[in-house]
Amino acid sequence: MSILVTGAAGGIGAAIVDQLVEQGHDVVAHDLRPTSTRSGVTPIVGDLLADGFAGPLGDALGDAPLEAVIAAHGVDGSGTIEDLDDAKVSRILQINTATVARLYQSLYELLERHGGTFVVIASQAGLYAEPKNAAYCASKSALVAWVKDTAPRAATRGVAVRVLCPGCTETPLLLAAHERFAAAEGRDFHEVLDARRRSIPIGRFADVTETAAAAVYLAARDHRPSVLAVTGGEVLG
Amino acid sequence: MAKISHHKRLTIVPASADVGDDDGLDTAIELSASLISRLREVLDRSDQPVDHIACVLTTRPGEAHEPAVQAARSIVGALTLERGRRVRINLLVTHDESAGEVGETLELLDGDHGGFFAGSTFDLRRTA
């Protein structure tokens, strides 16, 4: 049985791949750039936005039964309304939202054959609006709603569709977003970062291994919540 | 000195709540008072400090337990904000406390990678 992880070169995606391999799973690791070449991992490089990418993706998955898909790809979308031109908004929504639904549609039958799971990594921004993050919040809120709508129908066909809403996880994506927040406010980057940590009830960011473990928990065939927040108490889910 | 973890599990079973009677409000009120009392007791014990409390709420299918579930969710959320980093509190809602997923979820919460779960609700009800 194999598990497909998209966004596998990113901070959270790479940690998910590591944990799955450690648990003995065969992993197909997708991203725009090459990912892990460790044993048990089949890398595939390609653009989920590209027409016809489902073909190469299907080839990489081969005939092995597909146990789960973890859609961990996405882009940062932080910025004030003035920063968000039409092209940027479109890109954020296409990558974070549209490609996930497209991925599900292209792999649904494979998952149905073996009662697989489809896990989406959204964000706490999909549960609660954040300032200077309108497009990103929209992209993730739409995903959460899509999962809530899709999960009951998929369940009747034996496929579990679930969404994880992680809070601040210490990744290059998070640090880059806070650099932009700091620049927009004319404040010191580290000061902004420390203030953000203090705003989280447990007083710190998540390590990538913590967010990855939550995603791997949701990918199991066993019964799991369809929506799960892991936010250090910042957004209560 | 190595940090010692202290985990506490609270089992909560709401009273029966008929649909169409008071639609579960009395049960929610009773459960809220009881849960707050039990959490206060655990949190007040300086001789047995805890760093994680997992509240396991077992409801019965077909009963009007949703107000009780939402009340418990709010209590866990409010105490998460109130207590901050001193203690993590999470809620599991299930129809069967002995189901495998309850044990697996507790294992995640109490494990090495469970430390960022705070104020989370795991809705494990089969019909949810």
Cβ-Cβ contacts under 8 Å between A and B: the total is 87
Read off the CATH number of the domain in which A72 is found: 3.40.50.720
Rounded to a whole number, what is the distance in Å from the CA of A72 to chain B's nearest CA?
Answer: 18
Residues of B in contact with A148 (CB under 8 A): none
Q: Is residue A54 part of a domain?
A: yes
Contact flag A233-B113 (C-beta cutoff 8 Å): no
A12 φ/ψ sector (left φ>0, alpha ψ -120 to 50, else beta) = alpha
Out of A206, A223, A237, closest to residue B124 by CB: A223
Which DSSP state fits A175? H
| Among A44, A48, A49, CA closest to A4 | A44
**ipTM of predicted assembly, 2 dp:** 0.89
Q: Is residue B107 part of a domain?
A: yes
Contact flag A233-B81 (C-beta cutoff 8 Å): yes
The Cα–Cα gap between A115 and B81 comes to 38
Q: Is residue A176 part of a domain?
A: no
Question: pLDDT-based confidence at B1, cuts 50/70/90?
Answer: very low
Read off the CATH number of the domain in which B12 is found: 3.40.50.720
Contacts of A6 (CB under 8 A, 6+ apart): A13, A30, A31, A48, A69, A70, A71, A72, A73, A103
Q: Is residue A50 part of a domain?
A: yes
Question: pLDDT-based confidence at B2, cuts 50/70/90?
Answer: very low
Rounded to a whole number, what is the distance in Å from the CA of B98 to chain A's nearest CA?
Answer: 13
Query: Average pLDDT in the B26-33 region?
Result: 94
Out of A210, A226, A237, closest to residue B116 by CB: A210
**Predicted pLDDT at B63:** 87
Helix or strand holding residue A231 (H, E): none
Out of B100, B111, B116, closest to residue A232 by CB: B116
**Predicted pLDDT at A196:** 93
Catalytic, A136? Answer: yes
Instruction: Kindly name the residue from A104, A108, A128, A136 that is annotated as catalytic.
Output: A136
CA angle A27, A31, A37 (to 5 degrees): 50
Counting every residue written for chain B, the total comes to: 128
pTM, two decimals, is 0.92
Rounded to a whole number, what is the distance in Å from the CA of B31 to chain A's nearest CA?
Answer: 20
Determine phi and psi for A157, rounding to 5 degrees. Answer: -105, 10
Please give the span between the terminal C-alpha atoms of chain A, in angstroms, as a whole number: 31
Query: Average pLDDT in the B27-47 region?
Result: 93
Contact (Cβ atoms closer than 8 angstroms) between residue B43 and residue B87: yes
- Tens digits of pLDDT across chain A (237 residues): 799 999 999 999 999 999 999 999 999 999 998 877 788 899 999 999 998 777 778 788 877 789 999 999 999 888 889 889 999 999 999 999 999 999 999 999 999 998 999 999 999 999 999 888 899 999 999 999 999 999 999 999 999 999 999 999 999 888 988 888 888 889 999 999 999 999 999 999 999 999 999 999 999 999 999 999 999 999 987
Q: Is residue A121 part of a domain?
A: yes
Residues of A in contact with B80 (CB under 8 A): 201, 233, 236
Contact (Cβ atoms closer than 8 angstroms) between residue A165 and residue A126: yes
Contact flag B88-A222 (C-beta cutoff 8 Å): no
Residue A192 CB neighbour total at 10 angstroms: 18
Q: Is residue B1 part of a domain?
A: no
Domain ranges, residue A152: 2-168+207-230
Q: How many domains does chain A have?
A: 1
Q: Is residue A117 part of a domain?
A: yes
Q: How many domains does chain B have?
A: 1
Q: Is residue B2 part of a domain?
A: no
Angle between the N-to-C axes of helices A99-113 and A134-155, in degrees from 0 to 180, rounded to the nearest 10:
20
Contact (Cβ atoms closer than 8 angstroms) between residue A221 and residue A117: yes
Contact (Cβ atoms closer than 8 angstroms) between residue A167 and residue A173: no
Domain ranges, residue B82: 7-123
SS3 at position B47: coil
Q: Is the pLDDT of residue B4 over 80?
A: no
Tokens standing for residue A213: 């473990």
Q: Is residue A202 part of a domain?
A: no
The Cα–Cα gap between A22 and A177 comes to 31
Report the DSSP pairing between strands A227-230 and B121-123: unpaired
> Dihedral sign, CA of A71, A77, A81, A87?
negative
Q: Is residue A190 part of a domain?
A: no
Q: Is residue A191 part of a domain?
A: no
